[in-house]
A and B are shown apart, each in its own frame.
Chain A
Amino acid sequence: MIQLKNIDKYYDAKFQRTFVLKGINLEIEQSEFVSIMGPSGAGKSTLLNIIGFLDEPNEGEYLFLGKPANKLKEKQKVQYHRSHIGFIFQAFHLIEEMTVYENIETPLVYRGVKSKERKAMVAEMLDKFNIVAKKDLFPSQLSGGQQQLVGIARAIVGSPKLLLADEPTGNLHSEQGEMIMKLLKKLNDDGMTIVQVTHSEQNAQYGNRIVRLMDGYINEENTN
């Protein structure tokens, strides 16, 4: 599904070039659950952002679903964001002024889904995550775990093929973290490809493959 070939990402300062990623080769198949690990500054998030079209590599080739994705136009990126990729963030990034319901509904609004269908799809999500009772609350009225649930619901409401999670449990205490990880595992079992960035070995074990990054290089790969 994802093929990264010799990906470089760097920033130019006055007299030197700082590499964030250097010569990354990575292949991810459909239905995999990949955990990217590594110390701070290893380039984990950058890699995830490149995979999710939020950032562009400076060098190298990126094939998404077999199609070259290096020089995608803004319009195509938007299309991928709408139908193929869902994001989960460490800081949840829910929209403060929207209720739980509206937060989940937003991606569908952008995709131009009709109001009736939207209702059904959001209702399904609320049901699936057991948050029907919370649908009219605002993010600030929820616990962290609940907020992340909403974040996941929003990410998958459009049934994307790929779910990208940037330290999804980083802001949660262990019990809630575990719940979220179990949920991700279940989504993966249902066939969704997931790539997560994490610091925690324990969380990494939920996936079936671990990619370890060190100073911009892939250090080792192992499969559970």
Chain B
Amino acid sequence: MHNLKITFRRLIKDKAFSFINIFGLVIGISSFLVLFIHVTNEKSFDKHFNAHKNIFRVTSVPEGRSNANWARSLGIIYEVSSKIPEVEMATQFSNCETGNIKIEENSFQQKNIMAVDEAFCKMFEVESLLGNLKEINKPNTVFVSEDFARLHFGNLNPIGQIIKIEALQYVRNVGDYEIRGIIKITHPKTHFKYELLLSQKGGLQERFESLPGRKIQWTYNYFKLQNGVSPELVAEKIKDFWDKSSTKQTRGPKEYDFSLFPIDDIHLKSDYRFELRESSSKINISLFVIVSVVILMVSLLNFTNLNIAKLIKRSKELGLKKSIGANQTQIIRQVLTEVSIFCLLAIGFSLLLIQGAESFINQLFDIEFKIFYNEPVIYWSILAIIGICLLVTTLFVSVFLLGRNSTIDILAKQNNFSGSYVLKTLLIGQVTIVIILITGTFLVNKQIDFILNQPLGFDKENVVVLYIKDLSKDAAVFHKELEKQSHVVSVGMTAQHFGYPSQGFPLDGLGLDGTAEFVFANYDYLKTMNIKLIKNWIKTEAEVVNGMVVNKHLYKRLMEKHGNMDALRAYQEAQPLEPDQSRINFIGVTEDFNYSSAHESIGDFAFYLGEGGNRARFTHVRINDLHAGMDAIKRVWNDYYPNQEIDYFFIDERIAQQYKAETILSRILFVFSAIGILISIIGISALALFISQQRTKEIGVRKVNGASVKEILTVLNSSFVWWVSISFILATPISYLLLNRWLQNFAYKTTLSWWIFALAGIITLIITLITVSWQSWKAATKNPVEALRYE
């Protein structure tokens, strides 16, 4: 109590110091809390399910496709689950991100529709607010979320109302579904989200029942295993059943790799295609952890540094207290009370700051950051921060001030800053971290620039992609109409646009191992995207271009195997043909390019050109004027597809989105190196102030003896230059190693140029010099008489 009052007085008396000290700490603690809380949130995904440790998602990857796993899997998995005793519960469900539904006369798009069974409700603890979840087993029933009910029915009881399901992802006119209950909204930290839960019986029954016999991966399969059962064992058992099944022998890939993926890991680690909810695998959660700890460390170093400097200044007072009978414990207690008050104030301000900046943070980093005050982790982390602050300061105070110096040394002011190794070490540590952060920022930016400017193999600018849902109308007519517009350069179509999971075909028919990815497209698509053919066997007189265009990668492999195209054709001819199959007709070779992203290396790839099928789903339009072109497209759309909302995106934006993780990473690094620099500026300037104050007498003497301001500045600044140099020497190899490791994540990497390091060092030096000179200048221009009298 006694200490408390005095501390507050001191805090108010030395406002500048208190402000600097608390401000530095607030920035550090806020950054740490934001990152730490975010990481904790991310890590707690799906952990609210009681049995989360025993729940796994079963995946089935066809041979040769292990670089592109799907979250969906074969229907046979669900069928065999009942024959594996280790499986306590199994569920399979389908998910539709956006479907079309109709309530009375009102037709609209609806997100997050899932077709589930009773096991799903049990496994994922679906809570019903109204109605009995058992009714999900009855044909054509639907359960709606409380949000959905409120939005569409207000306060009326929706039970018994009819929802007409017009279209799900792959099926149309599923039928009328009767609302049988209201469910609680999905827990915010779950890797999926449901608005409507449909019964698998009734409209979808035939589709679900046919799944075990087909090699399509349409549903998601989850197992809840018995305690202690090894997931590998279960995967093996599935494989055994598969090997015995008749489905295996049907056309398509023969070998599948079955595995069980723990749901605990889905949110953080999944990079599966068709993931139910965007996962955080690419945001690199461990980087968040590292950065947050680093920032907290920088600010703690700074805090300790300032406090020690201040204590040295006050050592006289501490010595005095010893002379009037204070023992070590009492002095340490006093110092700790002060530190605790600083910490508590800083934490309080930090929480306010975070709360206020929440939406800004979310926007800047594109994360869903939220403080759940009801979770104990918040309080633990706050306690941990106070604990660390206290521990570090106690250590330094007891070792540094009280242990080493006898009382009279303290009273006689025999401590000085420039002689203190602790202060030097702390400062150097802090500056080293800042240099590492700056180099990191430079490199990440360089790498992102490099990737975004990679030759893609096609021209990404000025291409609009229209999503055509109504394939019942002939899209060719629509395309003709579009081509007539003066601002439209060309129109092509594909069933799978850039970045959209493409399809696979086994290469055994061509004498090669593995599976190639391919997309359905038409010849005009290649023209629209400016994809250059390096070999072109297309017969120009043909009305419709039919056949396969492969990429250089696959072409090379084929040539290595067969030598030339004729040999390849002869090999093809020798293969038996199923009744509904036709020979692949090779018509061209393209340059290699990435259809997905630069994270993945280039593999076997092909375009299956033709005009029919659902190729029109993604109509690509190249325009020569953004506004006029879009206006024209919208006009034609509204004429041809009246009452249908136009759904479109630009291909270059979609590509940029693929590097969202890197863009956010660069933002994070930029913001936090800026914060690191800011904290260090605070620390360095306070230290420079203390040093110049302590050397006031020396400066006065030098001036009396004729030193110029410039010479005094040199004297004061030279030690800081020296410290930055040491930090630079320390930081360079560390950051080189770290950044080199990070670059390994990319198939295409930029170079770690020397200038990145040099520039980071120079920037740090300049900032330090400016900061120090500011204080030194004030000391150097002081009247020497005043300076001497002061002593």
Contacts and interface: CB of A to CB of B under 8 A. Distances in A.
A106 B321 contact: yes
A44 interface: no
Contact of A110 (B9, B10, B13, B321): B321
B458 to A, nearest CB: 72
16 contacts: A54-B408, A55-B407, A81-B322, A81-B323, A83-B325, A86-B324, A87-B324, A93-B320, A97-B6, A97-B13, A102-B6, A106-B324, A109-B2, A110-B321, A110-B324, A110-B326
Interface string B310-333: 000000110011111111101000
A158 interface: yes
B521 to A, nearest CB: 79
A52 B323 contact: yes
Interface string B169-207: 000000000000000000000000000000000000000
Nearest 4 pairs between A and B by C-beta?
A82-B325, A81-B325, A78-B327, A107-B324
B457 to A, nearest CB: 72
B321 A87 contact: no
Contacts of A93: 316-317, 320, 411
B406 interface: yes
A74 B328 contact: yes
Given A95-B6, A107-B324, 12 more contacts: A54-B323, A54-B408, A74-B327, A74-B328, A81-B325, A83-B325, A87-B324, A89-B320, A96-B13, A97-B13, A102-B6, A110-B330
Place the interface of chain A in its size category.
Answer: 20 to 34
B323 to A, nearest CB: 5
Contacts of B327: 74-75, 78, 110
A46 B328 CA distance: 23
Contacts of A95: 6, 317, 320-321
B8 to A, nearest CB: 9
Interface in A62-103: 74-75, 78, 81-83, 86-87, 89, 93, 95-98, 102
A49 interface: yes
Nearest to B14: A97
Contacts of B406: 54-56
Nearest to B7: A97
A74 B321 CA distance: 14
Given A54-B407, A93-B316, A95-B320, A107 B325 contact: yes
A69 to B, nearest CB: 15
A97 B324 contact: no
A54 B411 contact: yes
A206 B619 CA distance: 109
A111 interface: yes
Contacts of B326: 78, 110
A36 B483 CA distance: 110
A176 to B, nearest CB: 21
A111 B6 contact: no
A204 B290 CA distance: 67
A96 B330 CA distance: 19
Given A54-B407, A110-B330, A154 B324 contact: yes
Interface residues of B, number: 21
Interface of B: 2, 6, 9-10, 13, 316-317, 320-328, 330, 406-408, 411
A66 B138 CA distance: 101
A55 B408 contact: yes
A155 B411 CA distance: 16
A117 to B, nearest CB: 15
A77 to B, nearest CB: 9
A82 B13 CA distance: 29
Nearest to A79: B325
A98 B330 CA distance: 17
Contact of A97 (B9, B323, B325): B9
Contacts of A54: 323, 406-408, 411
Nearest to B323: A87
Contacts of A49: 408
A79 to B, nearest CB: 8
A82 B322 CA distance: 9
Nearest to B406: A55
Contacts of B13: 96-97
A158 B326 CA distance: 13
Contacts of B317: 93, 95-96
Contacts of A154: 324
A13 B517 CA distance: 81
Nearest to A93: B320
A110 B321 CA distance: 9
A89 B327 CA distance: 20
Contacts of A75: 327
A172 B430 CA distance: 46
B499 to A, nearest CB: 65
A95 B10 CA distance: 11
A128 B321 CA distance: 23
Nearest to B410: A54
Contacts of B407: 54-55
A3 B265 CA distance: 77
B527 to A, nearest CB: 81
Nearest to B411: A54
A89 to B, nearest CB: 8
Contacts of B330: 110
Interface in A20-36: none
A81 B408 contact: no
Contacts of B324: 81, 86-87, 106-107, 110, 154-155
Contacts of B2: 109
A134 to B, nearest CB: 17
Nearest to A75: B327
A87 B319 CA distance: 12
A108 to B, nearest CB: 9
A97 B321 contact: no
Interface string A105-120: 0110111000000000
B766 to A, nearest CB: 38
A97 B320 CA distance: 14
A78 B407 CA distance: 11
A89 B320 CA distance: 10
Contacts of A89: 320
Contacts of B321: 95, 106, 110
A145 to B, nearest CB: 20
A54 B412 CA distance: 11
Q: Of residues B13, B317, B322, B323, which shows the largest number of chain A Cβ atoms within 10 Å of its Cβ?
A: B323
B325 A98 contact: no
B311 to A, nearest CB: 14
A116 to B, nearest CB: 15
Contacts of A155: 324
A78 B325 contact: yes
Contacts of A98: 6, 9
Contacts of B316: 93
A55 B319 CA distance: 12
A78 B6 CA distance: 22
B471 to A, nearest CB: 81
B328 A111 contact: no
Nearest to A157: B324
| Highest count of chain A CB atoms <10 Å: which of B325, B328, B408 | B325
A61 to B, nearest CB: 19
Given A95-B320, A97-B10, A110 B408 contact: no
Contacts of A82: 325
Nearest to A82: B325
A97 B9 CA distance: 6
B7 to A, nearest CB: 8
Q: Which of A87, A98, A110 has the most CB of B within 10 A?
A: A110
Contacts of A74: 327-328
Given A54-B406, A54-B407, A97-B9, A111 B325 contact: yes
